[in-house]
Structure 1
């Protein structure tokens, strides 16, 4: 009797292992298929003017859009995460220095990357949040391109990006988006410019940068990166129900919430949001406060 039970348990364990391995083999195949998919998009680069006004705006956008948060203050790239199970996430060296992509990228390549999430080889740029820059106005895109293409060269060779088993599984279940190219409306025609005075419309334009963590409905929930705290609801059903505009601005400028909590920058990048102008923060508050 005992031998039968042990035999049954052994067969059950073996069967489960076979099922798990077969499922992971499918997940890995699916990831490879999507990673090697070719995309062909025309990239219409706006006129890029390298004057002081454009460069100042471009630097500001590089900060508030998270470029410097991921690629480093000098845009020289860095290893963001190197986890044996999740993977090695390595935002590129964007400069013209050794190991950088700046010398190889044309303006059209930059636009394809920022508007479509696709590299010069027509393959998806993994984990590059192009869905947050795809809808930028031509005016802002021009300024960002001006800044990024003239930034000082940084000589830095970085290791290859690598997505490991847990990363592939999280991507498969929609918990970690490795293919932003699949999230973009590639037929969208960006406006030439927009009114940047305080308004809900300007706030909505800015809030796309919040969707990477807080999701498209801004309700937050489970984090996209394992071992991170839950993501806050930043709509009227969350803290904004109690926060005044002044509270909101103080939290995003200092990292201190009205409740006395200090936000850790690695989970809520207030060192980035503190660079928003008053008009930008007020517009963002109005927009988020009006979300149900």
Structure 2
């Protein structure tokens, strides 16, 4: 019986050491500070109503809620409970450059790497667009409460160590040289809109990928098969050509893309159709 006891103690020691390793390693990854590079913002004179519309199209209010006061963003038992922060309170203690760094580089005001912020798309925002967003944020009254930092459970910590959940600065660094093709001046506006609105879910090269756990986003060459009215319906109502209901696109189109202008949607479609022709060739 003594050997059974020794085996039991050995197993317990291995478990304790393993749990401690997972916690320490994941804590270091989650709390890692990043310096980033200096940000340059252009002065903004964009009407605030237009800045607010653009913030909606970028999906800012999807995560941070009305008035950007933050809300519970996701709760998965044993994985993570995460609140989108109250941006009005964050902005009250941040510089414009810190806000721009959070938007375009995925670096929090305190220097932590951000994991959910879609900076892989927002890195493509111009200095002017970033300045417009920061001015819009500053126009909002400070209200509501601060929200807790993310609480990561054991399965979430294992996922962090395994690389299933990547920090945005790392994602950006790994994709530094990957861009969608420049197809000429006629589709330049659409290319920019696609890079700033679509690449977070559909991948930096629009070849598709896992938009969220268990949900795959398609290669956007599929958009080449849409006629103009069908594509307009897709972005305004989230209804694809075959009429089925799509989980993520249904939500994103109604909350964000429905605020795009007809001209912006037409520009997006023009670029995606041109890209589809290149892919087909």
Indicate whether 1:201 and 2:184 are aligned: no
Q: Which runs of 5+ in 1 are unaligned?
A: 1-6, 189-197
Q: CA deviation at 1:243?
A: 1.7
The alpha-carbon distance between structure 1 residues 101 and 249, as it changes in their structure 2 partners (threshold 3 A), is same
More helix by share: 2
The alpha-carbon distance between structure 1 residues 146 and 264, as it changes in their structure 2 partners (threshold 3 A), is same
Written as runs of structure 1 = structure 2, the 5 A alignment for 1:1-292 is: 26-49=21-44, 51=45, 53-95=46-88, 100-177=89-166, 179-185=167-173, 199-208=186-195, 209-225=197-213, 230-236=215-221, 239-264=222-247, 268-271=251-254, 272-289=256-273, 290-291=275-276, 292=279
Please tell me whether the aligned partners of residues 119 and 125 of structure 1 are also in contact (alpha carbons under 8 angstroms): yes
Q: Which runs of 5+ in 2 are unaligned?
A: 177-184
More strand by share: 2
Distance 1:217 1:28 in 2: 34
Distance 1:161 1:58 in 2: 29
Distance 1:263 1:235 in 2: 15
Q: CA deviation at 1:102?
A: 2.1
The alpha-carbon distance between structure 1 residues 173 and 206, as it changes in their structure 2 partners (threshold 3 A), is farther
Q: CA deviation at 1:71?
A: 0.2
Q: CA deviation at 1:45?
A: 3.8
Distance 2:113 2:250 in 1: 26
Report the number of matched residues. Answer: 261
Q: CA deviation at 1:22?
A: 6.4
Distance 2:93 2:132 in 1: 20
Task: Give the secondary-structure state (helix, strand or coil) at the position aligned to 1:231.
Answer: strand
The alpha-carbon distance between structure 1 residues 123 and 253, as it changes in their structure 2 partners (threshold 3 A), is same
Distance 1:27 1:283 in 2: 47
Task: Give the secondary-structure state (helix, strand or coil) at the position aligned to 1:79.
Answer: strand
Alpha-carbon displacement from aligned partner over 1:213-257 (angstroms, at most 9, x marks no partner): 2223333344523xx5x3231422xx4253223211111102222
Task: Give the secondary-structure state (helix, strand or coil) at the position aligned to 1:274.
Answer: helix
Normalised by the length of structure 1, the TM-score is 0.76
The alpha-carbon distance between structure 1 residues 94 and 245, as it changes in their structure 2 partners (threshold 3 A), is same
Alpha-carbon displacement from aligned partner over 1:100-144 (angstroms, at most 9, x marks no partner): 212101112112211222123322123222222122111111111
